[in-house]
Chains A and B, each alone.
Chain A
Amino acid sequence: MNADVLVVGAGPAGLAAAIELRRLGAGRILVADREREAGGIPRHSAHTGYGLRDLRRVMTGPAYARHYAQAAALAGAEIRSGSTVTGWAQDRVAILTSPDGIETIAARAVLLATGCRERPRTARLVPGDRPSGVMTTGELQQRVYLAGQRLPGRALVVGAEHVSFSAMVTLAHAGADVVALVTERPRQQSYAAFALGAALRWRVPVWTSAAVRLVLGRDRLTAVDVADLRTGAVRRVACDTLVFTGDWIPDHEQARLAGAAIDPGTRGPAVDTALATSVPAVFAAGNLVHAAETADVAALDGLHAARHIAAALAGPSERGRPRSGERAGATVPITVAAPLAWISPNAIRDPAPPPPRGRFLLRSEVFRRRAWLEVRQGDRLLARARARLIPGRPVHLNAGWLAGVQVSDTPVLVTVADDG
């Protein structure tokens, strides 16, 4: 089977891209999603707050997921749920398994929008027994909101960012008594109102500078050891459920199998400001390239990628292949230095269009109320910008300096200035 564009992943980024591609007349758009229903992660995020930046209204996750799935179908995109891309026969030729059998899909362009996941306990190397009752927020939400499970008993949440508070609310909804949120950071990373709300409404404290050091329970979880990182003191906390939240990693299997270069910071495919990867005519958008932003930001990424894909398909080069995906211009990588963790997009290809929403996204490992970000290429200072740094929260860097980048082997480096 052939498609003009194969979109892998029917979450906010993939569906928003499919709608825009159809609106721009990009031809046959096939969206493959491995889950039973299209919509992505918002399907099982029952809280509200979705749609703010992309749809200019606020709705719950499931309503938002339904909105995008219906709009994409109405726009004429073919949405194939229950269909898994398992690998690539060659560039832009996907192998797809579904109840209908095994097909190859040859596309003129591919958009990877496979999202991200939370690092589970094993990947965080938390030692101890291996009892049941230990899970990620993703598993928790599906257990509670899709499968209707109850989780009585005491629960502990690892992490204190937005998703951690969301996990706390989900646990309370499922009948759990949430003991605390535990974070290795010196303070919580979400909105002050969330933490205050947690303390007042749910009476859940945030234990800062603390870490889960040991998991106990041969069959069912019975307790964890929590260390105070300031004093070294360890206390045993009885609990029945332990939820590991945040610590996102892109679900980058298909990007890697497609041969896309991986950015060492984001761990997603390296992308330029058009969201093109290192593989010709293969683009990537959403939390695959910045794990994790809110759904509306992912959707706006999809819109951005769709416009560049449509332009590439509309103006074929002399060899009949899309222009934008080819290495027409040399790329200049964008890197960061500690305490910054990553920047997205992380490459500049000449000529460089603006990135999604006209700005770069960064992550910091530390809190700084007022910091100076500095952008340099070699010895040249390209920009200085004020930023507030909170781990796990987006740091924005306006892209006005892009025109000053010289095409050379010298990467662009973004740092936090010492003078704060």
Chain B
Amino acid sequence: MAAAALPADGSGPVADVTIVGAGVVGTAVARELAQYRLSVILVDAANDVGTGTTKANTAILHTGFDADPGSLESRLLARGSTLLRDYAARACIPVERTGALLVAWTAEQERELPSIADKAGQNGYHAIRPVPAARLYEREPHLGPGARAGLEIPDESIVCPWTTPLAYATEAVRAGARLLLDTRVTGMQTSGGEHRLATTRGTLRSRWVINAAGLQSDRVDAMAGGDGGFTITPRRGELIVFDKLARPLLSSILLPVPTARSKGVLVAPTVYGNVLLGPTAQDVKDRGDTATTADGLAFLRESGRRIVPALLDEEVTATYAGLRAATEHRDYQIRVDPARRYACAAGIRSTGLSASLGIAEHLVDQLGGAGLALRRRADTAGPPAMPYIGQSGTRPYQDAARIATDPDYGRIVCHCERVTRGEIRDALASTVPPADTDGLRRRTRALNGRCQGFFCAAHVGELMAAGPGGDA
């Protein structure tokens, strides 16, 4: 949504709360605040929601079984994943409870299994149970040779990382929040009980500012005069996505035994019916460096060959890299400064998608305690019904009744992902529409399949150019 220019002199109205960063955390906070009688602005430098750390993760809805016991992350993950499971069901966000198998490949890893199960118990997760090697191979016949033992975590799930922030943003915008994309915050001044945010589109005025800027959160913290207690070091994770024809090779998420530094390389189904392999973990300096590397991709293929050897025979449909907003701290950096009317939710390395609703609930509760007047609105509409892009439920091309009401749901444009003209049209006319083809990919899956546009890129381009209600 291209925002109109803002008054350069800051003569616009004063918002109650401005959230900097429209990732999964920022949109979740906006959604939460939209339940109250508050004027809310959500601002992001990118042209879409969820384009930073949010879009490039492993798309797993974690239970938090392996979090640090007693940490804020542990608590908000447990709470957030419960909330998101419920929200997803209501908002048509694709979720599948595939369960996870954590597999030990060495004697040393096998010895660590009991302590991982213990830790899960300390995190309040008690459904974890040991699985002997023979049972691992019954469950996952394509698992590579050499697995010694494992743990089953039956509630680990997979989720759509794109629909989730879109649903939050859609609900917030429909409840009156103002979403300003393509709008980079460049500075902040505070006087007379009011923040003035200089942006690339003009000046915003706000009583409260919430920093949910992910990879830029330390810089925004410095602008806001925060306590500067953290520095972001982007940690790059490269991933490989395999074609849907690989999906029958596994039924659960296959996790490695984690190390102190990383959760390691996993193989997981995706809600779209693909198989994902990754991530790597490499600290980088450049906060925009989402390039894949020859070494990273080779390392992933080596890892994948051990976990599910047959996977390597399948076609790759995508490779990408994401940046996790790691800090020098192990735990989330969530703090509220009542005197400055400033709050910060940072250092949410890789669990933000799972914890997002827990983080938002916690933060808004803290804001209430810090003096933000929280008066519930009577007229909230609840979660929006998002277009369903998963594979376990019914997609429009499979829905005879829907095609009968509108033949465009029977006109398949993207053949690999079976995206119909009706779905593309709906995305272009949606509350938070795509700004470009990548945005359309995230909303519909068009162009994300095995042919990567060989068959349909020109047609999709025509539909995109024609816009909502256009004819191509």
The answer to whether A and B interact is yes
User: Residues of A with Cβ closer than 8 Å to B?
Assistant: 34-36, 82, 84, 86, 97-102, 117-123, 125, 127-130, 132, 135-136, 138-139, 142-143, 146-147, 149, 213-214, 218, 249, 251, 253, 256
Q: Report how many A-B pairs have Cβ atoms within 8 Å.
A: 110
Pairwise interchain contact B403-A99, C-beta atoms closer than 8 A: yes
Closest to A142 in B: B458
Given A117-B454, A125-B319, A139-B458: A97 and B291 interface contact (C-beta under 8 Å): no
Expressed in whole angstroms, the Cα–Cα distance for A23 and B379 within the complex equals 68
Pairwise interchain contact B245-A127, C-beta atoms closer than 8 A: no
Expressed in whole angstroms, the Cα–Cα distance for A139 and B453 within the complex equals 6
Given A97-B398, A100-B407, A101-B400: A34 and B451 interface contact (C-beta under 8 Å): no
Pairwise interchain contact A99-B454, C-beta atoms closer than 8 A: no
Residues of chain A within 8 A of B293, CB atoms compared: 127
Pairwise interchain contact A127-B410, C-beta atoms closer than 8 A: no
Residues of chain A within 8 A of B294, CB atoms compared: 127, 213-214
Expressed in whole angstroms, the Cα–Cα distance for A135 and B460 within the complex equals 14
- With an 8 A cutoff between CB atoms, is B320 at the interface? yes
Given A34-B412, A146-B458: A135 and B290 interface contact (C-beta under 8 Å): no
Expressed in whole angstroms, the Cα–Cα distance for A123 and B415 within the complex equals 17
Pairwise interchain contact B415-A84, C-beta atoms closer than 8 A: yes
Given A97-B410, A132-B437, A147-B461: A84 and B397 interface contact (C-beta under 8 Å): yes
Expressed in whole angstroms, the Cα–Cα distance for A251 and B452 within the complex equals 13
Closest to A118 in B: B454
Given A129-B291, A130-B320, A253-B245: A101 and B453 interface contact (C-beta under 8 Å): no
CB B452 to nearest CB in A, in angstroms, measures 4
Residues of chain A within 8 A of B291, CB atoms compared: 127-129, 214
Expressed in whole angstroms, the Cα–Cα distance for A256 and B290 within the complex equals 34
CB B455 to nearest CB in A, in angstroms, measures 7
Contact of A136 among B317, B410, B452, B461 (CB under 8 A): B452
Given A101-B403, A101-B410: A120 and B415 interface contact (C-beta under 8 Å): no
Expressed in whole angstroms, the Cα–Cα distance for A99 and B410 within the complex equals 4
* B437, B450, B459 pick with most chain A CB within 10 angstroms: B450
Contact of B418 among A84, A102, A138, A256 (CB under 8 A): A84
Residues of chain B within 8 A of A249, CB atoms compared: 315
Residues of chain A within 8 A of B404, CB atoms compared: 101
Q: Can you give 20 A-B contacts (C-beta < 8 A)?
A: A86-B397, A98-B410, A101-B410, A102-B398, A117-B450, A122-B452, A125-B316, A127-B296, A130-B290, A135-B453, A138-B451, A138-B455, A139-B454, A139-B457, A142-B457, A142-B459, A147-B461, A213-B294, A214-B291, A253-B245
Contact with A along B288-313 (1 / 0, CB 8 A): 10111110110001000000000000
- With an 8 A cutoff between CB atoms, is B318 at the interface? yes
Expressed in whole angstroms, the Cα–Cα distance for A36 and B290 within the complex equals 37
Pairwise interchain contact A122-B317, C-beta atoms closer than 8 A: yes
Closest to B297 in A: A125
Contact of A117 among B292, B316, B319, B455 (CB under 8 A): B455
Pairwise interchain contact B458-A97, C-beta atoms closer than 8 A: no
CB A410 to nearest CB in B, in angstroms, measures 25
Residues of chain B within 8 A of A82, CB atoms compared: 411
CB A106 to nearest CB in B, in angstroms, measures 18
Given A99-B411, A102-B400: A143 and B316 interface contact (C-beta under 8 Å): no
- With an 8 A cutoff between CB atoms, is B408 at the interface? yes
Expressed in whole angstroms, the Cα–Cα distance for A121 and B418 within the complex equals 21
* B320, B451, B452 pick with most chain A CB within 10 angstroms: B452
Residues of chain B within 8 A of A147, CB atoms compared: 458-459, 461-462
Residues of chain B within 8 A of A102, CB atoms compared: 398, 400, 403, 410
Q: Name B34-69 residues within 8 Å CB distance of A.
A: none
Residues of chain A within 8 A of B288, CB atoms compared: 218
Residues of chain A within 8 A of B320, CB atoms compared: 130
Expressed in whole angstroms, the Cα–Cα distance for A130 and B317 within the complex equals 13
Expressed in whole angstroms, the Cα–Cα distance for A112 and B397 within the complex equals 21
Expressed in whole angstroms, the Cα–Cα distance for A122 and B294 within the complex equals 12
Residues of chain B within 8 A of A34, CB atoms compared: 412, 415
Residues of chain B within 8 A of A214, CB atoms compared: 291, 294
Residues of chain A within 8 A of B462, CB atoms compared: 147
CB A341 to nearest CB in B, in angstroms, measures 15
Expressed in whole angstroms, the Cα–Cα distance for A302 and B21 within the complex equals 57
Expressed in whole angstroms, the Cα–Cα distance for A106 and B403 within the complex equals 21
Residues of chain B within 8 A of A138, CB atoms compared: 451, 454-455
Closest to B295 in A: A127
Pairwise interchain contact B452-A121, C-beta atoms closer than 8 A: yes
Residues of chain A within 8 A of B452, CB atoms compared: 120-123, 136
Pairwise interchain contact B455-A122, C-beta atoms closer than 8 A: no
Expressed in whole angstroms, the Cα–Cα distance for A279 and B72 within the complex equals 57
Pairwise interchain contact A122-B319, C-beta atoms closer than 8 A: yes
Closest to A82 in B: B411
Expressed in whole angstroms, the Cα–Cα distance for A120 and B454 within the complex equals 8
Pairwise interchain contact A86-B418, C-beta atoms closer than 8 A: yes
CB B437 to nearest CB in A, in angstroms, measures 7
Expressed in whole angstroms, the Cα–Cα distance for A47 and B408 within the complex equals 33
Pairwise interchain contact B297-A127, C-beta atoms closer than 8 A: yes
Residues of chain B within 8 A of A84, CB atoms compared: 397, 412, 415, 418
Expressed in whole angstroms, the Cα–Cα distance for A253 and B315 within the complex equals 12
Expressed in whole angstroms, the Cα–Cα distance for A394 and B301 within the complex equals 31
